[in-house]
Structure 1
Amino acid sequence: MTFSSSDAPAAGPLAGVRVLDFTTFLSGPFATQILADLGAEVIKLEAPEGDSSRTIPPYFVGDDSAYYLSHNRTKRSIVVDLKQAEGVRVARDLITTADVVIENFRPGVATRLGLDPAELRAERPALIWVSISGFGQHGPWKDRPAYDMVVQALSGVMSLTGVPGGDAMRLGIPAGDLVAGMYGVVAALAALVERARAGHGRWADISMLDGQLSMLSYQAVYATVAGITPRPQASRHDSIPTYRTFWAGDGRELAVTANTQRMWAGLVRTLGLPELVDDPRFVTGADRLANQDELSQLLEQAFLARPAAEWVDALVEAGVPAALIKTVPEALDDARAAGRGMILPLSDDAGHSIETVGSPVKWVGSGAGSGAAWYPPRLGEDTGAVLTELGYSTDRIAQLERDGVVTPGAGVAAR
């Protein structure tokens, strides 16, 4: 567990853990970025053409897309052509130095490339291998291609998103990818803990579809217990009619989550409707749900009397959780003002600079951030340095470059 980069994070619970990242696009890179934020050394092994997310339009900083830049910070990039036998040998050498390997190839592709997880783990039982795929390493759909919207569709998530009677909608964030990435991190961390105790690693099989099914939460249990088909709720809740959004008098929306008796009383008193507290139609949560149409009319009309921000202030003062519906820029501005390190400015030696969303993991007593972070690597930026650390001679590296097996970053100094 050697971390030899001079730019390695100085702090973080995973300092000393090396992660070899064969992933592209989003689910895997999101997972390895979390591990990097926690202090691990992440070596991103890319094909000569690079991670496909580097070229996603429409926004670019230099040669790299904003999409790529959003989830690849604090990594090192090495370019290796796995279609060449010598490239596979380089990858296998790197695997011998890794604590964790994470890949999101289609099932069977790693083995066809000469990187069979079972074989490599037999050679090094302590190796932890995390495979992220659409439908898992086994099962009837394992060979089907999958992207975020496909697993949102198959999981039932899209059937719950949108307005009743309207089109099914994907979530506004790529939850299929992000949830799979987070479960990949959970698996890697659990395996590291077990390895510290028992000395052996594991091979984790993470399915994007499984991740989305796990997020169905109580909706899945509603379906199995009550035999119902849950429907879209738009911005409402199918169990709590005072857990929803409202339009205010200034044309802005606010979210209200009055889900206890105390909050219910605080809500209607703040709205100037104290008589509803003891109204027999609305006394209990079950009463309010049974008479939700009448209740909605009364509440919606009351909210039109004042601007949304005023209602939010009054409700919060009354102990009722409420918030304005913010745009993404507004939310980012709030995060900057909060000073929790959630807006992370990064720059590189080529003059590129970005702001990205930081790690939500904060350590009490260690400041707002979770450790050192640096700008996402340019393609092949660390090829020479990583191979040198691996023990390859200058002559061997030069020969690999001439043969097109590895590619150095053009004009980039090693970290």
Structure 2
Amino acid sequence: MSGPLAGIRVLDLTTVLLGPYATQILAEYGAEVIKLEPPEGDVVRQIGPERHAGMGAMFLTLNRGKKGVMLDLKRPEAREEARRLAASVDVVVTNIRPAAMRRLGMDAATLRASNKALVYCGIVGFGQSGPYAARPAYDDLIQGIAGIPMLARRQSGEARYAPLALADRVTGLHALSAILAALVERGRTGKGQEIEVPMFETMASFVLGDHLGGLVFDPPMDGGGYARLLSPDRKPYATRDGFICAMVYSDGQWRRFFAAIGEEERFAQDPRMANHAARTRNIDAIYAELAAIFATRTTAEWLALLEAADVPCAPAHTLESLRADPHLVAVGFFTEEEHPTEGRLTRMAPPVRFGNHDRNIPRPAPRLGEDNDAEP
């Protein structure tokens, strides 16, 4: 592998989605990532559809670019093999609970005793100095405790999780950035360190960055929440034949929008439209009016009109139409891969490009224990 992380070795002791997402990107950046799995394999191997057992679609996406080693850490000799492997790498990443890692002798203190330069990243549900430290954590639970379903309820009347593994992926990106920062510091000092990346605190920060609002002040000025994001009509607008996404935001964009539909005086005479603060105070009513306006034309008509007026807009893709988006096609976002056992696959190219390196073409996701003969 080429890339800015070429020469960095990573032992991936992660499972499901959060940790594997972080280590997937490390592999895309050029690191040698060795994924260690138990004899039954990572549970995400079973998330279909699949052509062969243990090679589900999500596993194939999350674990491309990695080597695959299978070890039964219940066996003392396997634990010794894992510790020898850990002594040869630059980074260990795990989202296994810390107590279990200590029982296995794979905790930061044990591994760093023989590898002082090791960067050890432990991804946990909750910060280990707090009362929730030992609690289990899954994406749905963390979305809930971070307030996302109740924000959805304020907006739409129904408490719902985001239809994405949002907490896993956001926390995975924080883990990635922390690992990279630790490697930069190690480059200056020669010393590794232990990193703790908690899901709850990460998502609390993520959510409250938008919605802390008047709770910033002491005493609070309101109950928190960003009004525009919580407006019930903040959603794709229904057109005569489908949906469109439009963002009329700045004074200029609002002026051009009403000019484009031939109602300039409506904007000029409505005090609710006077400036950004006034629009924010009246956002529910304004978005409801926009919804009624968008229902009067087809999606194609709106896209042409808004693009001509320089008002931000985009189609509301389905998963199927997203695959055919002309921009993604033009930039080579989707590529074809021949997997040695799974046949032809469509995969996403790494979205980040480094000017000094060709875009990496990661190796296919490994079969269970594929690299046991080569590693450790």
Question: Shared topology, TM-score over 0.5?
Answer: yes
Match of 2:100 among 97, 109, 112: 109
Match of 2:216 among 224, 243, 250: 224
Q: CA offset at residue 227 of structure 1?
A: 4.4
Q: Is the 8 A contact 2:139 2:167 kept in 1?
A: yes
Given the superposition, is the C-alpha separation of residues 228 and 343 from structure 1 closer, same or farther in structure 2, using an over 3 Å criterion? farther
Distance 1:46 1:244 in 2: 41
* Corresponding letter in the other structure for 1:228: D
Q: Is the 8 A contact 2:211 2:225 kept in 1?
A: no
Given the superposition, is the C-alpha separation of residues 85 and 373 from structure 1 closer, same or farther in structure 2, using an over 3 Å criterion? same
- In the TM superposition, 1:14-53 aligns within 5 A as 14-53=5-44
Distance 2:32 2:9 in 1: 5
Please identify, of 63-72 and 193-202, the stretch whose mean Cα deviation from structure 2 is larger.
63-72
Please identify, of 108-117 and 331-340, the stretch whose mean Cα deviation from structure 2 is larger.
331-340
Q: CA offset at residue 170 of structure 1?
A: 0.8
Q: CA offset at residue 211 of structure 1?
A: 1.8
Which residue of 2 is the match for residue 134 of structure 1? 125
Q: CA offset at residue 77 of structure 1?
A: 0.5
Please identify, of 324-333 and 375-384, the stretch whose mean Cα deviation from structure 2 is larger.
324-333
Which residue of 2 is the match for residue 379 of structure 1? 368
Which residue of 2 is the match for residue 354 of structure 1? 345
Alignment deviations for residues 353-396 of structure 1 (CA, whole Å, 9 cap, x no partner): 322223211123756xx312121100000100123xxxxxxxxx
Which residue of 2 is the match for residue 253 of structure 1? 243
Q: Is the 8 A contact 2:151 2:230 kept in 1?
A: no
Q: CA offset at residue 242 of structure 1?
A: 9.6
The answer to whether structure 1 residue 275 and structure 2 residue 265 are counterparts is yes
Distance 2:130 2:154 in 1: 33
Q: Secondary structure at the match of 1:149?
A: helix
Which residue of 1 is the match for residue 255 of structure 2? 265
Q: Is the 8 A contact 2:39 2:72 kept in 1?
A: yes
Distance 1:181 1:17 in 2: 19
Give ranges in structure 1 of 5+ residues lacking alignment: 1-8, 388-415
Please identify, of 341-350 and 286-295, the stretch whose mean Cα deviation from structure 2 is larger.
286-295
Q: Is the 8 A contact 2:233 2:288 kept in 1?
A: no
Give ranges in structure 2 of 5+ residues lacking alignment: none
Alignment deviations for residues 249-281 of structure 1 (CA, whole Å, 9 cap, x no partner): 21x121211211111111111222211231142
Which residue of 2 is the match for residue 89 of structure 1? 80
Given the superposition, is the C-alpha separation of residues 69 and 317 from structure 1 closer, same or farther in structure 2, using an over 3 Å criterion? same
Given the superposition, is the C-alpha separation of residues 116 and 145 from structure 1 closer, same or farther in structure 2, using an over 3 Å criterion? same
Distance 1:30 1:114 in 2: 25
Q: CA offset at residue 351 of structure 1?
A: 4.9
* Corresponding letter in the other structure for 1:375: P
Which residue of 1 is the match for residue 65 of structure 2? 74
TM-score by length of 1: 0.83
Q: CA offset at residue 146 of structure 1?
A: 1.0
Q: Which structure: greater helix fraction?
A: 2
Q: Is the 8 A contact 1:161 1:232 kept in 2?
A: no
* Corresponding letter in the other structure for 1:45: L
Distance 1:297 1:95 in 2: 57
Match of 1:325 among 316, 323, 326: 316
Distance 2:93 2:283 in 1: 48
CA RMSD of aligned residues (A): 2.3
* Corresponding letter in the other structure for 1:381: E
* Corresponding letter in the other structure for 1:371: N
Distance 1:151 1:334 in 2: 32
Which residue of 2 is the match for residue 4 of structure 1? none
Given the superposition, is the C-alpha separation of residues 40 and 293 from structure 1 closer, same or farther in structure 2, using an over 3 Å criterion? closer
Distance 1:81 1:118 in 2: 22
Instruction: State the percentage of identical aligned residues.
Output: 35
Alignment deviations for residues 156-195 of structure 1 (CA, whole Å, 9 cap, x no partner): 1222225635221111110111111111111110011100
Q: Is the 8 A contact 1:347 1:374 kept in 2?
A: no
Which residue of 1 is the match for residue 155 of structure 2? 164
Please identify, of 222-231 and 43-52, the stretch whose mean Cα deviation from structure 2 is larger.
222-231
May I ask how many residue pairs the two structures share in their alignment?
A: 371
Q: CA offset at residue 80 of structure 1?
A: 0.8
* Corresponding letter in the other structure for 1:37: E
Given the superposition, is the C-alpha separation of residues 341 and 224 from structure 1 closer, same or farther in structure 2, using an over 3 Å criterion? same
* Corresponding letter in the other structure for 1:276: R
* Corresponding letter in the other structure for 2:258: V
Q: Secondary structure at the match of 1:21?
A: strand
Q: CA offset at residue 244 of structure 1?
A: 5.1
Given the superposition, is the C-alpha separation of residues 69 and 180 from structure 1 closer, same or farther in structure 2, using an over 3 Å criterion? same
* Corresponding letter in the other structure for 2:268: D
Which residue of 2 is the match for residue 339 of structure 1? 330
Q: Secondary structure at the match of 1:60?
A: coil
Q: Secondary structure at the match of 2:325?
A: helix
Q: Secondary structure at the match of 2:7?
A: coil
Given the superposition, is the C-alpha separation of residues 193 and 219 from structure 1 closer, same or farther in structure 2, using an over 3 Å criterion? same
Which residue of 2 is the match for residue 310 of structure 1? 301
Q: CA offset at residue 294 of structure 1?
A: 4.8
Distance 2:133 2:233 in 1: 42
Q: Is the 8 A contact 1:23 1:103 kept in 2?
A: yes
Distance 1:242 1:277 in 2: 19
